[in-house]
Chains A and B, each alone.
Chain A
């Protein structure tokens, strides 16, 4: 689905990513882990067009997407959530979820101003889709609230609903359980498993090891801007390089 070849990103002269090569297989849940500052966010920003990689290639369904602007990447079918929530606090929950269907709006500004009947029909259809997604995440009774007043856990779920509602081909989740308590984390884990079972391709960037080890089919470990290990959760857990990255060199601590 998504294939990265030797992706590099330099900020000024500083390397944030070097020669990252990885693959996100279709229909699987791939997790991207790594210590703080490993370059996970930079990598996800390169994949989604927020940043443009300095070198290397990113191919999505055999189309080169490195350097495309963010909205083009999204229109190809890669939707994402953000580590630090990026909801629209003044819009209602329903409108927030509806923004996830921007790509399907498909009308010019001029058409929208005339409010032609076909647009009204389409709008109704989008509304139904959004309500369905909100049901899935237990948000239906809060649909008219301004998103800004929701509790943190609910905001996280609105973001998930917004990313999922457009039926993306690839879903990128940037730390979806950061800041949630154990109970909420388990609930999100269950939802992710459901999405995976429904056939979604997911790339999960996460700090929460328990969650990753429980639900990921494939784990990619990033350290200091380099990809140091790839494999199943068990393989990665036993990999000495990974242990070193997370726990520090044995000699250094001894």
Chain B
């Protein structure tokens, strides 16, 4: 083997690690290049959305189920942290953990009850859950502040640093996002992840290979809810204000569209999808004005032409073309 081949082999072997490192370096350097608070506010929002979408994509892409209520878990995380830190004056980091555990229990209750049934009952159940949560946030004035929202949430503190300006928040939020990204990548590349990929591909076959399909679905659902809750807590501390409208049905469908744009089961695609949908209204005024139309249009078009999702669908086409090309050239 020549040195060049060795090098290329090394690259393919460690490509995931390399990509993660490159992205981390780019993110560390980003505030040095771009210190416009507005832009940083947007990229910070991408980080928060990406955490939700990573979990939701694991669930949609690896169990073949759909949740139309992840904004509920996101909202429970945000309001949970708000209430714990302001109303009960608990320290913010432990409350973030506590809230995540509570949200995991809610998801476990919903998931264990509904995922016993085959079919897309979970989509309905989560949709209902989202309605309930949204209504409670809106109506229970004494606790949640009602339609006018919940203000005065403290910023996060760590080792003497207060995360209250866009640059420090950039580092905080993206650290969380990168850790979540890394955990998800690890999961997907493990034997457990292969079992999940099998589950997404063919439930009967997966069960016959030894995957406990029901337990796997519930576990991934709970995991995705925990990530959404975490993102919600970060969101609350980052903006120091939450209002019910952020956590409605449309937020849930937006998360699903981010998954669809990124591609079912694609971890990197999740980050792309979150970035794409967060930035799109900023680029073109038309998209901002007719946001819901555009989002609906994207969803329909992608699912019609690339049912695996935009990025995954495109890479699939390339992979298949490449393999077919190789096959024909090998036999020729």
Contacts and interface: CB of A to CB of B under 8 A. Distances in A.
Interface of A: 48-50, 69-71, 74-75, 79-80, 82, 86-91, 95, 98-109, 112-115, 119, 122-123, 126, 141, 144-146, 148-149, 162
A75 to B, nearest CB: 5
A112 B190 contact: yes
B191 A126 contact: yes
Contacts of A119: 190-191
Interface stretch (B163-171, B204-212, B243-251): B204-212
Interface string B160-201: 000000000000000000000001101101111111011001
B67 interface: no
B213 interface: yes
B186 A107 contact: no
B210 A102 contact: yes
Contact of A113 (B187, B213, B330): B187
- Interface centre among B183, B191, B211, by most chain A C-beta atoms within 10 angstroms, is B191
15 contacts: A71-B207, A71-B208, A71-B210, A91-B201, A99-B194, A102-B210, A103-B209, A106-B191, A112-B186, A112-B190, A112-B192, A113-B184, A114-B186, A119-B191, A149-B320
Contacts of A82: 205, 208
Interface of B: 183-184, 186-187, 189-195, 197-198, 201-202, 204-213, 219-220, 223, 308, 316, 319-320, 323-324, 326-327, 330
A75 B210 contact: yes
Nearest to B202: A86
Given A86-B204, A109-B187, A102 B194 contact: yes
Contacts of A86: 202, 204-205, 208
Contacts of A71: 207-213
A145 B208 CA distance: 23
B195 A105 contact: yes
Contacts of A106: 191
A126 B193 CA distance: 14
Given A71-B207, A102-B191, A149-B327, A88 B223 contact: no
Contact of B219 (A50, A103, A109, A141): A109
Contacts of A88: 197-198, 201-202, 205
A5 to B, nearest CB: 23
B188 to A, nearest CB: 9
B106 to A, nearest CB: 19
Nearest to B219: A109
A99 B209 contact: yes
Given A88-B198, A99-B198, A114-B186, A107 B192 contact: yes
A105 B192 contact: yes
The 10 closest A-B CB pairs, nearest first, are A105-B191, A112-B190, A70-B207, A86-B205, A88-B201, A115-B186, A112-B192, A103-B210, A74-B210, A113-B183
B320 A148 contact: yes
Most buried by B among A79, A89, A90, A114: A90
Nearest to B264: A90
B111 to A, nearest CB: 14
B197 A123 contact: no
A95 B187 CA distance: 15
Given A70-B204, A145-B327, A102 B190 contact: no
Contacts of A146: 316, 319-320, 323
Contacts of A69: 207, 212
A95 B327 CA distance: 19
B190 A123 contact: yes
A178 B29 CA distance: 59
A89 B191 contact: no
Contacts of B316: 90, 146
Given A105-B190, A145-B323, A99 B195 contact: yes
A123 B187 CA distance: 12
Contacts of B187: 109, 112-113
Nearest to A101: B191
A80 B204 CA distance: 12
Contact of A48 (B184, B208, B326): B208
Contacts of B213: 71
A106 to B, nearest CB: 8
Contacts of B202: 86, 88
A216 B236 CA distance: 68
B190 A115 contact: yes
Contacts of B191: 98, 101-102, 104-107, 112, 119, 122-123, 126
